[in-house]
Structure 1
Amino acid sequence: MPRLFTGLEIPAETGLMLSMLRGGLRGARWIDPENYHITLRFIGDIDDRTADEVAEALDRIRRDPIDIRLSGLGSFGNGKPHAVWARVEPTPELAELQSEQERILQRIGLPSERRKYTPHVTIARCRTSSNEDVARWLADRGNFQAPPFVAGRFVLYSAKASVGGGPYLVEEAYPLAA
């Protein structure tokens, strides 16, 4: 039973810049640079037949390449931080691609995503980091900026069932070229 999600890949140069943010946060488990990505839609654990339906349905998407900009850092967690991330500047093109995937996946019977879409690149999972640790780490590095890049495709990733962070495998790639 594969665990699937869709996302945009991060170029090696951007990954290198993100990897230089590693360290200085007690209790963090850092994501390996080759596993950095921008999640579009988490699909979850599904059977092989549904996975084939997902792969086929996503192949119908026709969109132009998307300009991506990373600026700033943040964290997720209500009361206790569970991840730190680089912010992806929202654009209409990115939102439309994500929304189209959401609609397609719901049409083939998958449940809707309950969380509001926040484009980001996860840098670390916070195992035992305190709010103070994360606030200090963000304050020290919060002006992060990376040169923009163009996402020329989105991919269907598979992951091993775990707490997240990889390794992720590209199962299918879909060009962004309307």
Structure 2
Amino acid sequence: MPRLFTGLELPEDISDSLATLRGGLPGARWIDPENYHVTLRFIGDIDGISANEIASMLLRIKRRPFEVKLQGLSSFGGKKPRAVVACVAPCRPLMELQAELERLMQRVGLDPEGRKFTPHVTLARLRAASNQDVADYLSVRGYFPARSFTVDRFVLFSSRASVGGGPYIVEDAYALSA
């Protein structure tokens, strides 16, 4: 059974830039730069028939390319931080693409996504990192110059069942065109 999700790939120069932020945080398990992405919709472990149905349904999406902007770092998890992320500025085309993917996944019988969509790139997963360690890390590294890139496709990724962080494989790509 493949574990699937839809997402946006990052250009290599932006991944390289984000990779310079690695290190200096006790308890962090850093994601390999080749696995950086923006998750649009987690699908989960599904059978091959459902995977094929989802892959063909994604062909129906007709959207134009758009700009995405990365700006600043943050953490997820509140009092018990669990991830350090690069923030993605929400923009209308991104939010609409994600909402359309959510509707399509519900149409094929998946449960609605339980969390509000907060676009981001996970840089590190945290285990036993203190609030103070995360705050110190963010105060030193949390600002980096905003970086933008054009999204001209989204992809269907697969991953093996693991603790997270890849490796991720592009199973199919869906072009955005004018």
The TM-score range, normalised by the shorter chain, is over 0.9
- Structure 1 counterpart SS, 2:55: helix
1:103 aligned onto 2:103: yes
1:131 is matched with: 131
**1:17, 1:146 within 8 Å by CA — same for their partners in 2?**
no
Where has structure 1 moved over 4 Å in runs of 4 or more? none
C-alpha displacement at 1:130, in angstroms? 1.0
SS in 2 for 1:148: strand
How high is the sequence identity, in percent, across the aligned residues?
A: 61
Return the offset for 1:146: 3.6
* Paired position in structure 1 for 2:117: 117
Deviation at 1:128, TM superposition (A): 1.8
8 Å Cα contact 1:14/1:146 also seen in 2: no
Q: Paired residue for 1:6? A: 6
Deviations 1:140-167 (A, max 9, x none): 1121224311011000000011111000
Number of the residue aligned with 2:27: 27
Gaps of 5+ in 2: none
In the alignment of these two chains, the number of paired residues is 178
Q: Report the AA paired with residue 27 of structure 1.
A: G
Per the normalisation by structure 1, the TM-score is 0.98
What root-mean-square deviation, in Å, do the aligned CA atoms of Structure 1 and Structure 2 show?
0.8
Q: Is this contact kept in 1: 2:70–2:87, CA < 8 A? A: yes
Question: In the aligned structure 2, how far is the partner of 1:78 from the partner of 1:143?
Answer: 19
Q: Which residues of structure 1 form unaligned runs of 5+? A: none
SS in 1 for 2:147: coil
d(CA) in 2 for partners of 1:129 and 1:123?
14
Report the residue type matching 1:101 in the other structure: L
TM-fit CA distance, 1:83: 0.5
